[in-house]
Amino acid sequence: MPDDLDAIIHAPARLRIMAALAASPDGSLLEFKRLRVLLGLTDGNLGAHIATLEGAGYVAVTKDFEGKRPRTRIAATKAGHAAYRAHVAALRAILDGGDVG
C-alpha cells in the first residue's frame, strides 16, 4: 500500500464512516444508531469500526442520556478530518496516475 494511504481509514466500512462524519456540519455529533442505519451496518460491526477509529484518535465518542435513554454520539476529530482528507487525496493521486508504491 502506498505510504500516503491510511491503513486504518482504508477499510471500506471505516472509509464510509469517516466520509459520513467528514460530510456532517462542523461540530455536529452523529447518533450511533442513526449512523448504523444510514450506512447499513450492524451494531457490532459499527461498534468495532468506531472503536478502531477512536483508538487512532480519528473520532470522538460521546455517551450521555436523552431523557432516560442512553445515547452514543460520534464526531470526527481534527486529526480524523485531516487523515480523511489526506487519504482521499492519496486515492485521487493514484487514479490520476501518481504513486502506487
Partner 1 sequence: MTISNTVQAREEARLALAAAEDGESRLLAALIYGRASPYLILWGIAWMAGYVGTFLAPERGNTIWSVVTALGWATTLLLVLVQRRIGRGRRSRRGLRYSASAVLMTAYAALWAFVLLSGHANALGIYAGTVTGFAYLVAGLWRGPLLAVLGAALTLLFLAGFAIPPMGFLLYAGLLGGGGLVAAGLLLARCDPT
Task: Give residues in contact with partner 1 (CB under 8 A).
Answer: 1-2, 10, 12, 15-25, 28-31, 34-35, 38-39, 88, 91-92, 94-95, 97, 100-101
Min CB(57)–partner 1 separation in Å: 20
Q: Which amino acid, 77? A: T
Q: With respect to partner 1, which residue has the nearer C-beta, 78 or 92?
A: 92
Min CB(66)–partner 1 separation in Å: 13
The span from the CA of 83 to the CA of 80, in Å, is 5
Min CB(62)–partner 1 separation in Å: 13
The span from the CA of 26 to the CA of 6, in Å, is 22
Q: With respect to partner 1, which residue has the nearer C-beta, 54 or 75?
A: 75
Q: With respect to partner 1, which residue has the nearer C-beta, 25 or 44?
A: 25
Residue corresponding to grid cell 477509529: 53
